[in-house]
Structure formats: structure tokens, C-alpha cells
Amino acid sequence: MFVKRILIYFPLALILFLVQSVFWVPTYDKQAVGNPKRLVKFLEASGGDAAILNPILSADSSSAAVNEKVFEGLIDFDNDLKLRPRLAQSWIQFEEAYLTVNPSRRPPGYSGGELAREWAQFLLQSLRARRGWYGNIRRVEVLPEEEVTGTVALPVLGEDGRPVKNNGVVKTLDVAYRLKRPPRIKFTLKKVDQDFFTPIKHLIGQGYFSTIPYARHIEAVDPAHAERLRTAHARILPLTEHNPVILFTLREGVLFHDGHEFDASDVKFTYDSIMNPRNASPRTSDYEPVKALEVVGPYRVRIVYKRLFSPAINSWTMGILPEHLLNARRLREEAVAAGRRGDEPFTLRDTAFNRRPVGTGPFVFGEWKSDEMIRLTRNDAYWGAPPEYEEYVIRIIPDTLTREMEFYAGAVDQYGAEPHQVARLKSDPKYHSISSVGTSYSYIGYNLRNPLFQSARVRTALGMAIDVEQIIRYVLYGEGERVSGPYAKITDWYDPEVPLVPYDPAAALKLLEEEGWRKNAEGYLEKEGRVFEFNLITNSGNPTRKNILTIVQNSWRKIGIKCNTRMFEWAVFLKDFVNTMKFDAVVLGWSMGFDPDLYQIWHSSQAGPNQLNFVGYDNPQADRLIVRIRQEYDRKKQVKLAHELHRIIARDQPYTFLFVSRATRLLDRKIVIVERQADGSEKYVKVYPTRDGSLSYYFNKLRKLETVPQFTPAAG
């Protein structure tokens, strides 16, 4: 029966190879019977090898699969995509807000006293009746005048007075200054509030802000820069300032795999390493909003942010590095041992640690044979419940058919199965099929700078002409769901009440006719002598997108639209078309995170070359919502704002939102979740998809049994 299945589904040229694989790979049953070691070893097949086993340096999925088991962050996401404690046992968020005292203005009804204290007293008395506002204040302090020095980046100007650019990036010059900062009023707030200063500004009036004598307080170190420095006065001396704060209390008694205790110095070291430009970490932008990270005790870390940015807390899911193994002294010692000269740079990218990592996670690094395998072993000293599996092994198997055959034979327990592969084995009693909605979505993006696409009604009509369900059924083998907007469907930010664009070619044609388009003698839509014709492009090497091109082209042709399709190699596709905005329409996809910040993709300021809003979406109402969402720390308010943004973008249809693919997995039915009961007994639960489709949330509870257990309905 096994060979017959091969003959049906695979090309004749591969039959001999596949039949041979049945004999040279022992079946799962043969591996398991009398071999208890196989039952405690989880084998995963990967198409590519890891690149670097260091969480602050890696940027590939193969490395991430290992790093997430060797290292841990302060926090991570639970089954409902809410943040939960890991190396941090708890945390609080609050705000320190500052109002700079304008020395040229005095509060109404006050005279002769200390100006800063008078302003503080005036504001508190005036706003005491605002219970919500006043009740959020924990403490008010008056900070004295101080002198500070610093630098500010100013654009280098050419002879024509315009900024000089290098490869499209504005060149800057760091200009040094001295600041005599006036007294400030510091408000410590219980909760972060982006609207905290709104009533204050109303009380003190706009004149308070327009009359600040900047020149009296800011001086250029080099007088030649004095005039240029005026353009940065408001940046150097902000009159209001939001500084959100996260205070982490760390878990005590956690050990790195070498037995050294984890503490706050490791958190600071990890942050400093990310921000050190010599290490070239791809994570730098995630931590740029940090103003200061302070160790306030062996198990307490205080992180102050420069500005309001609610997604910033998600960056602390980053794996924490061991300071004692990677500090400057240890790197120098390793450099000397490696024969490096004293003047040669030796950074975190050069250390052997990246091939022999040490973390605090549930698995300990064992060995790495390049392009062959990576082996991890159980951390029996793990601070939480140690994993059920004694070993976790990633086998590097580049060939997709070989991965599939290894899985059939039981030589691997998991691999990245394609939808058609899952469809073949869904009914096989040996396997358990897991399918869950992923975090990415596919779309057709229209260049809104093109006159063809400037009407939302036209863009809506284009979407109505496409049968997306047909794509899901025949291209994805049913492993997908339609989406209506810009958020990951599994998150709270996605509004399920927003209707999908209906498949209705007749109504689509009617909309286009109302926009002035009429069919010509050749059957194509035409308006003012111009045929409705454009190019739809995507990258090569992606069979799903290739099929979408064909289906969409045919769908639009039926209503009179002439669509030409082309595919380009990925680097060319990005460099020559997407990044330069030289396209009509594209088929692409976004892999979304778990926070509601859509600034880079949808804000109008991000619509330039090499930016992510390459379709040129520009809606002032959406811009305001996007900014408010990234500055809002109250989750309920964020959800409400995100739903509003979803509705606006869905109405405007800058994309035709197509579908989210389902994350499909196959597991042997002998693999179960072990739930330990209070009385010491065990309960076996069938493996089920978490909200994000990941197995990592409960991977430590997985175990392979000798036989398939009988599940009760409640357990399955």
C-alpha cells in the first residue's frame, strides 16, 4: 500500500529513490519497539542549517528554532497572545512626564514666589476636579535648573541649501551644544497616558509654548553652528516630555546552563550588546526608543523610554545572554587564544559562543554538525518544569521529498509540510493533522499614485471580480481563510465584524461603469481613450503567488480588464520595482506581529523609496489613528482604535486582501500533551493548535508514547 501511494502521487523518475528509502530508513514502529531512547527524542527536519546561535544576532528561522529553546527572554506570549512572565517574575509600567517651566510666563494669580513651584501648585489646584486625570498622579516634584551638554544630528546642506543625500539617505552632522535647562515639573503617573498634557495645555495657553526663550538656554559649542542649531531648539529643549517606564522584577535562582546564576547585569549586558554598533545586531531598531536602562538591584531592572511607544515591551521577549561568558575581558581572552593581534576587532560576531551557546532555556546545547544536525539535551535544572523529551534534534534535510519520506518512515517527528502533503495524510490513522490560522496574509497591492487606482470604488471593483474562495480551495487545498483587513486574523486587533469583499463580477462591472469605464469593440474597458490595462507582478520561486497571478488575470479579463503578469527574481523584484515604487500592482504578503502598530506599513510618512508603505496609502484619519495606537498603553482602548483603523483601511481598499494561510502540521498520533494532575497522576491530551499555531508554547509537555492512547471527548 505504501508503494502504491508513491506511484499515484510522485513522478516516475523518483519512484526508485522513494522505494529505496523505505528500506534504508527504519520505520517508526521498528525504531520505537524495544528502543525507549527513540521515545524520548524529538526529531525535526529543517530545509536549511542554522546560521548563528545567538538571539541578538540571528535573523533566520532555522537559528530561531534553536535559540528559542536554549535562551529565554524576560517575557513571552501565552496561548492567548498575552504577555506572560519568564525570566522576569513580574513587571509594572508607569510614566514620568515632564513640563519645562517657561521663565517668561507666570501662572494667573501668582507673583513673587518660586516660579516652578507656583506653576505646580496652580496646575494641581486647577485640575483637582478632574478625578481621572488627578487620580493618575502618584507624585509631583520640582526639578532644579541644570546644565547639560550633548550633540544633535543635523542634515548636511549642499550649496543649494538642500540636504545632501548618499544613496538616498540624508547625510548628517553631529553638532555639539550646551544646554542650561530651566526648572521642570516632574509628574510620576500610575499609568501611561498619552493625553496627560491635554488639559494642561488648555489651562496654560498656547502662548506658554510660543514664548520660550530658546536662545537664552541653548548655545552651540562651535559658534559657526549657532544659526543651524536654531532648527533643533525644540528637540534639544522639549517643553513637554513623556517617558514611559518598565520596572522588571527578575526571577531569582535561575541558572545558566553552566551553573552561573542569572541576574540584572545579564539584562543590561544584552541591551548594551544590541546597541553596540560593532556587533551589527539586526535588533537595534527594537531598542532605539530606550532612553536608559538602569540596574536598581540584583533582580530589578528599570527601563526608561524616550517617547510613547507601546509595542516597546514586546522587545523583551529577546533571549538574554550570559554577561560572564561574553564580557569584554572574556572576548579579549578568546581573541588572544585565537591568535588575534591586539588591534584587530573581536566582537560578539567572532566568538565561538555562537556555535556553542549557553542560555537559561529548557534545553542545553549539545552539538552542531554543519549541514547535518543540531542536538540539544534536556535542562534538568530548568527553573520551570523540565521538558518531557530528553533530546531535541534538528536534522538538516534540504530536499523536500526526502523530508517527506523521512517523516513517513518515522525518522523525523515534524517537518514543514506543504498543504498538498497534509491533504494526502489527513485520513491516515497514524497521523494527527494540526491546522491553525497563521499570522501572515496575502494581498494584491495597488500603486495609488497610478491614476487607474486612485478611486476606492475602482479598487473595490477589482476585489469583487476575484473569487478568493477558488484560490483557497484549489491553490491552498483548503488550508486558508479569507481576510478583510490589515491585522493578523488571530489577534484581538483584527475586527471580525468587517465584511469581506463579496465575489460579484456583475456588481464589479457596474461599479466600473459608474466610474466612466465602457467596453470597447475588443471587449476591454476604456475611458477617455485609455484602455484599463496594467501590469501585475510578483516574485518568482513562489508557486502560490504564480497561481494567484493566473487566476486573477483570468478573473479581471472576464470583466474587461487587460492585466499583464510578470515574475522577477526576489532581489530584482524588490530593488527595481517595490523599493523604487515603479509598479502598477503587486502580489505579496505580510507576516504580522502580535502588537497593533502598523506605522511602517500604512502611515503616509512611510511612503517613500525603500519604505514599507510602497503603495502610497495616504489618509489623514488613518494617520491619526496609527499614531494614537502606538502611543496607547490601555489594551481595551488599543483594540477599539485598531478596529476603527481596520474599518477605514478595508473601506479604502488600497489592497485587495486575499487570505491567511493555515499553519499545517502532521504529528504521529503517539505524541501527546502530558498534563500532570495534583494527585501526581498523568492525563494525556491530544495535541491541539494554540492560537498562533505554534507548538512551542507547550512543547515541554510533549511526549511520545509506545501506542496511540484512547482519548475521551473532553481530553481531545
pLDDT at 262: 98
Task: Give the end-to-end CA distance of the chain in Å, rounded to a whole number.
Answer: 29
Mean predicted confidence (pLDDT) in 667-684: 89
* Percent with pLDDT over 90 in the chain: 72
Strands, sheet with 373-378, edge to edge from the N-terminal-most edge strand: 41-46, 391-396, 373-378, 363-369
Backbone φ and ψ of 571, nearest 5°: -65, -40
How many CB atoms are closer than 10 A to CB 567? 16
Q: Residue 417 to residues 7, 38, 45: CA-CA distances in angstroms? A: 20, 22, 10
Which DSSP category does 301 fall into? E
| pLDDT tens-place string over residues 472-528 | 999 998 889 999 999 999 999 999 999 999 999 999 999 999 999 999 999 999 999
Give the Å distances, CA to CA, from 437 to 473, 480, 491, 593, 620: 15, 7, 10, 14, 32
Tens-digit pLDDT profile for residues 176-205: 999 999 999 999 999 999 999 999 999 999
Q: How far apart are CA 356 and CA 50, in angstroms?
A: 12
Q: Which of 455 and 60 is assigned the larger pLDDT? A: 455
Query: Looking at this protein, which amino acid is placed at residue 670?
Result: K
User: Structural domain boundaries of the chain?
Assistant: 93-244, 440-663
Please state, in angstroms and rounded to a whole number, the distance separating the CA atoms of residues 321 and 258: 12
The CATH T-level fold of domain 440-663 is Dipeptide-binding Protein; domain 3 (3.10.105)
Q: Do 299 and 249 form a contact (C-beta atoms < 8 A)?
A: yes
220-258 pLDDT tens trace: 999 999 998 999 999 999 999 999 999 999 999 999 999
pLDDT of residue 9: 34
Pair 625, 665: CB distance under 8 Å: no
Q: Using the predicted structure, report yes or no on whether residue 58 has a pLDDT greater than 80.
A: yes
**H or E, element range at 666:** strand 655-668
Tell me, what amino acid is at 571?
Answer: A
Please provide the size of the chain in residues.
716
Q: State the amino acid at position 442 in one-letter form.
A: S
Range with the poorest average pLDDT among 93-102, 124-133, 301-310, 516-525: 124-133
In this predicted structure, the answer to whether residue 152 has a pLDDT above a threshold of 50 is yes
Whole-model pTM: value is 0.86
Average pLDDT score over residue span 268-282: 95
| Model pLDDT for residues 70-98, shown as the tens digit of each residue | 999 999 998 888 899 999 999 999 999 99
DSSP state of 387: P
Q: Which three cell numbers stand for residue 178?
A: 550646551
Least confident of 128-137, 166-175, 491-500, 571-580: 166-175
pLDDT (0 to 100) of residue 627 = 96
> Strands 655-668 and 75-77: what pairing?
unpaired
Residue 20 has pLDDT above 70, yes or no: no
pLDDT digits (tens, 9 = 90+) for 540-552: 988 899 999 999 9
Where is 531: in which H helix or E strand?
Answer: strand 530-531
pLDDT band for position 327 (cuts 50, 70, 90): very high
Report the interhelical angle of 456-464 vs 505-514 (nearest 10°): 160
Q: Which range has the worst mean pLDDT, 281-295, 346-360, 568-582, 683-697?
A: 683-697
Which helix (DSSP H) or strand (DSSP E) does residue 149 occupy?
A: strand 146-155
For cell 534535510, the residue is 397
E runs forming strands in 402-501: 431-437, 440-446, 480-482
SS3 label, residue 98: strand
Mean pLDDT of 349-356: 96
Asked whether residue 339 carries a pLDDT value surpassing 80, the answer given is yes
Mean pLDDT for 127-147 is 92
Would you state the pLDDT for residue 21?
37
| Grid cell listed for 450 | 497610478
CA dist 683 and 675 (Å) reads: 5
Residue 667: pLDDT band (50, 70, 90) is: confident
- The DSSP bridge pattern shows strands 682-686 and 671-676 to be antiparallel
pLDDT computed for residue 385 by the predictor: 92
Q: How confident is the model at residue 59 (pLDDT cuts 50, 70, 90)?
A: confident
The pLDDT tens digits of the residues spanning 391-421 come to 999 999 998 889 888 988 889 998 877 777 7
The closest of 638, 431, 452 to 535, measured between CA atoms, is: 452
Instruction: Please tell me what DSSP assigns to residue 578.
Output: I
Instruction: For the chain, give the percent of residues with pLDDT over 70.
Output: 94
- Band of the pLDDT at 61, cuts 50, 70, 90? confident
Answer whether residue 330 shows pLDDT above 90. yes
**What is the average per-residue pLDDT within 686-706?**
85
Average model confidence (pLDDT) for the chain? 90
pLDDT for the residue 355: 97
Of the segments 420-434, 589-603, 632-646, 653-667, which one has the largest average pLDDT value? Answer: 632-646
Contact 592, 487 (CB under 8 A): yes
Asked if residue 566 has pLDDT above 50, the reply is: yes
Q: What is the mean pLDDT of residues 206-228?
A: 93
Average pLDDT value for residue range 206-225 = 94
> Which is more confidently placed, 715 or 146?
146
- Maximum Cα–Cα distance across the chain: 97
Do strands 41-46 and 391-396 pair parallel, antiparallel, or not at all (unpaired)?
parallel
| Predicted pLDDT of residue 29 | 47
Confidence of residue 34 (pLDDT cuts 50, 70, 90): low
Instruction: Give the other-Cβ count within 10 Å of 537's Cβ.
Output: 21
CA distance 221 to 711: 76
Name the packing angle between helices 15-24 and 2-9 (round to 10°): 150
